[in-house]
Structure 1
Amino acid sequence: MPVPVGIASVALWLPEHQDTAASAVAERRVEARTAKDLGNPRLPVAGDIAPPEMAVLAAQEALHDAGVPAAELSLLLHAWMYYQGHDLWSPPHYIAHQLGAHTAVPVGIQQICNGGAAALELAAARMTAGEGRESAPRHALVTTADRFAMPGFDRWRSDYGAAYGDAATAVLLRWPAGPDDLVLRALHTDAAPHLEMMHRGADPFAHLPRENSAVVDMRRTKRVYLREHGVEPFKKTNREMIRHVVAGALRDAGLDAGDPRIRFVVLPRLARKTLDDAWIPLLRELLDAPAVDWGCETGHLGTGDLAAGLHEVSGRSALGAGEFGLLLNAGAGFTWSCAVVEAPKRH
């Protein structure tokens, strides 16, 4: 990114209602051992509010906090993982419409759990590619939103290694960066497309959603992959990709792994056991900075993990002037991303 892209504001919208692990275990909606491995005492549950409506609320908060009218948005990207409420329809256009962002170009991103990171990367690339042009976007908004509702999705048992919480996020990007903006210094992505089978299994291509299974069941398709290939090839690829994106992001940001200005690396909002086994030990080898898990109270937010991490970085004032933080993300496909952000040098 030749010109710094500023993060003018970040919003995280969470519903008030929660589903606790204790109640899920008591009602036999999840096994006690699984709940322990997940490590999430509770998950946010949206109820009747649809994901695009949630995204509008997050977007309104982000725009308000930055003092930017929706009419000034040139680009709006919305990423989602699960059903948005209508069968053949464009959620980003709805969000732009409800915000009054009538001159923004709305774009939808579907890259499963890495969609929010992909949307940020595409928005930043679009903004910096127009350097020096009047048509280059000055403000771009990236939103995410998902609601993991039954009967189609079981937030506790539809997947291995993650419990799913409902949420929406909004990240307002500004180009060039303002003096008080958190700065996006790098966002590096790598993929391993051969792993797409983990979410396809042996199922035929269906004519309708959930034709092959009444409930989204990623455990079932992953078991098919693991029976054929075993777990080690995935573990090996996961380690390699984490190494690649961390190294690539540091290189793009002009940093060394041991730079003392790097204060932490934010983990994706996955199960505690998954983080302890597959992520944290490797990151100890790669970086001097500690890994932090800020997702215990929300669970995995689908496409929203990286943006939720940005919200924590900003809201906790976790970085001092000129300090750096890394944020990691991953999603089915599989795709991995690592972002590097820098706190403004003056306040």
Structure 2
Amino acid sequence: MRLDEPFGLTATAWYPPQRQTVEEAIDAGSVNRRTAQELGYTELPVAADVSPPEMAVLAAGAALARAGCPAHLLSLLLHASVHHQGHDAWSAPHYIANETGAHAAVPIGLLQQCNGGAVGIELGVTRLQADPTAGPALVTTADRFLLPSWDRWRTDYGMAAGDGATAVLVHRLGDFRTDLVLHSLATTAAAELEIMHRGEDGLDATPLGHGPMIDVRRPKRDFIRLFGAERFVKSAADGIGAAVRDALADAGLAGDDPRLRYAVLPRLGTKAMREAYLPPLTEATSAPPLDLGRRTGHLGAGDLNASLADLAGPHLLRPGDHALVLNGGGGFTFTAMVVSRPTATGTDRQESTR
């Protein structure tokens, strides 16, 4: 997606105070030591007493306060999630909008699996580009992974799930406080990979109709048996590589541009990232890979947005530094964004890399 002009991003993340260390998980029998080493996490945030929409409200309030943006100015509120949001046949986005005070915003829920937060930012930018009168868009994500429906260590291969929420305000430069300048974003799809999360299962009429707990490993085993792991690796490499190259080109950056400080990875296990994400990423750019997920785990729909919140902090990017932020989600879609640390107030429109 080519941007008419750079946009401002203000990003926050909220995590519960409770943590489960990997050693605690090993001692409890939740994960064996070999798998824990392949995942590479040190601990996971665990939300025992707060629902995902409540977490999203906390992240949203922090983002709006940080940006200096009153909630009533929002034109759009997009909420992305992977797992249960606390109630059935109910709209979590409308709850978040109401609790946040975004009464003029249109609340929309996104079911894009683990790439939902990234797609939400793309849709927010699309709204602002299409309607010059539209107010800013707020993108929230929140997920909580609890038994009996989800085992944070065992439900899927290549990742362990952490609980938390993110909020990213998408706005025009100069309107509100800007943590990061968004120069470009690109999303590619590999819809032929949807079967990887379905396998040979039929489409059941009721939730959890295939078993008492969500088990992503079973359909993935079916996929590998039917098609081989190389089918996923090739399709993912093609999609990741195309998204990265398009995002860099639209930002006016070569893969070896010295302004490109980092290439930020999704928050998957280290083995999964090494096998699926790093090869196409390092082929497209020489920017040093940055892994920000060892203390959070995989955050459902919020990996990329949590990485934006980390980049918004004071320690990773200097003024003028750029970062490429990469993410993917089941289905599959892959998104790459190029952002930078603002230079000086009021100059970012002129100092865009495009």
Deviation at 1:316, TM superposition (A): 3.4
Of residues 5, 8, 29 in structure 2, which corresponds to 1:6?
A: 8
> Could you tell me whether the CA contact under 8 Å between 1:265 and 1:327 is conserved in 2?
yes
> Could you tell me whether the CA contact under 8 Å between 1:63 and 1:70 is conserved in 2?
yes
1:61 paired to 2:59:
no
User: What residue in structure 1 maps to residue 235 of structure 2?
Assistant: 237
Deviation at 1:118, TM superposition (A): 0.5
Provide the TM-score with structure 2 as the length reference. 0.94
> Could you tell me whether the CA contact under 8 Å between 1:160 and 1:218 is conserved in 2?
yes
> Could you tell me whether the CA contact under 8 Å between 1:322 and 1:344 is conserved in 2?
yes
> Could you tell me whether the CA contact under 8 Å between 1:195 and 1:334 is conserved in 2?
yes
Q: Which has the higher mean CA deviation after the structures are superposed, 28-37 or 221-230?
A: 28-37
**SS of 1:315's equivalent?**
coil
Deviation at 1:179, TM superposition (A): 8.4
User: What residue in structure 2 maps to residue 165 of structure 1?
Assistant: 162
User: What residue in structure 2 maps to residue 147 of structure 1?
Assistant: 144
Of residues 303, 306, 326 in structure 2, which corresponds to 1:305?
A: 303
Report the RMSD for the aligned CA atoms in angstroms: 1.3
CA distance in 2: counterparts of 1:295 and 1:29, whole angstroms = 19
Of residues 313, 328, 341 in structure 2, which corresponds to 1:315?
A: 313
CA distance in 1: counterparts of 2:288 and 2:91, whole angstroms = 40
Of residues 303, 322, 325 in structure 1, which corresponds to 2:323?
A: 325
Deviation at 1:342, TM superposition (A): 1.8
After superposition, where does 1:276-291 map in structure 2 within 5 Å?
276-291=274-289
User: What residue in structure 2 maps to residue 174 of structure 1?
Assistant: 171
CA distance in 1: counterparts of 2:201 and 2:122, whole angstroms = 32
Could you tell me which runs of 5 or more consecutive residues in structure 1 were left unpaired when the two chains were aligned.
none
Aligned residues: 342
**SS of 2:94's equivalent?**
helix
CA distance in 2: counterparts of 1:160 and 1:258, whole angstroms = 33
> Could you tell me whether the CA contact under 8 Å between 2:67 and 2:177 is conserved in 1?
no
Deviation at 1:177, TM superposition (A): 4.5
**SS of 1:188's equivalent?**
strand
CA distance in 1: counterparts of 2:173 and 2:267, whole angstroms = 30
> Could you tell me whether the CA contact under 8 Å between 1:4 and 1:177 is conserved in 2?
no
**SS of 1:268's equivalent?**
coil
Note closer, same or farther for the CA distance 1:118–1:179 as it changes in structure 2 (3 Å cut): closer
Deviation at 1:32, TM superposition (A): 1.6
> Could you tell me whether the CA contact under 8 Å between 1:189 and 1:338 is conserved in 2?
yes
**SS of 1:169's equivalent?**
strand
Deviation at 1:128, TM superposition (A): 1.1
**SS of 2:272's equivalent?**
helix
1:33 paired to 2:34:
yes
Note closer, same or farther for the CA distance 1:98–1:2 as it changes in structure 2 (3 Å cut): same
Provide the TM-score with structure 1 as the length reference. 0.95
User: What residue in structure 2 maps to residue 186 of structure 1?
Assistant: 184
**Residue type matched to 1:188 in 2?**
A
CA distance in 2: counterparts of 1:188 and 1:19, whole angstroms = 35
CA distance in 1: counterparts of 2:171 and 2:284, whole angstroms = 31
CA distance in 1: counterparts of 2:185 and 2:93, whole angstroms = 23
**Residue type matched to 1:294 in 2?**
L
User: What residue in structure 1 maps to residue 214 of structure 2?
Assistant: 216
Deviation at 1:317, TM superposition (A): 4.1
Deviation at 1:242, TM superposition (A): 1.3
**Residue type matched to 1:316 in 2?**
P
Deviation at 1:25, TM superposition (A): 1.5
> Could you tell me whether the CA contact under 8 Å between 2:67 and 2:176 is conserved in 1?
no
User: What residue in structure 1 maps to residue 294 of structure 2?
Assistant: 296
> Could you tell me whether the CA contact under 8 Å between 1:3 and 1:176 is conserved in 2?
no
> Could you tell me whether the CA contact under 8 Å between 1:177 and 1:183 is conserved in 2?
no
> Could you tell me whether the CA contact under 8 Å between 2:69 and 2:176 is conserved in 1?
no
CA distance in 1: counterparts of 2:230 and 2:107, whole angstroms = 40
1:16 paired to 2:17:
yes
Deviation at 1:286, TM superposition (A): 1.9
User: What residue in structure 1 maps to residue 269 of structure 2?
Assistant: 271
User: What residue in structure 2 maps to residue 196 of structure 1?
Assistant: 194
CA distance in 1: counterparts of 2:177 and 2:167, whole angstroms = 18
**Residue type matched to 1:37 in 2?**
E
Note closer, same or farther for the CA distance 1:201–1:94 as it changes in structure 2 (3 Å cut): same
Question: Could you tell me the percent identity over the aligned residues?
Answer: 49
**SS of 1:85's equivalent?**
coil
CA distance in 2: counterparts of 1:162 and 1:14, whole angstroms = 18
CA distance in 1: counterparts of 2:340 and 2:48, whole angstroms = 36
CA distance in 1: counterparts of 2:313 and 2:116, whole angstroms = 23
> Could you tell me whether the CA contact under 8 Å between 1:264 and 1:289 is conserved in 2?
yes
User: What residue in structure 2 maps to residue 86 of structure 1?
Assistant: 87
CA distance in 2: counterparts of 1:177 and 1:311, whole angstroms = 19
CA distance in 2: counterparts of 1:121 and 1:225, whole angstroms = 30
**SS of 2:153's equivalent?**
coil
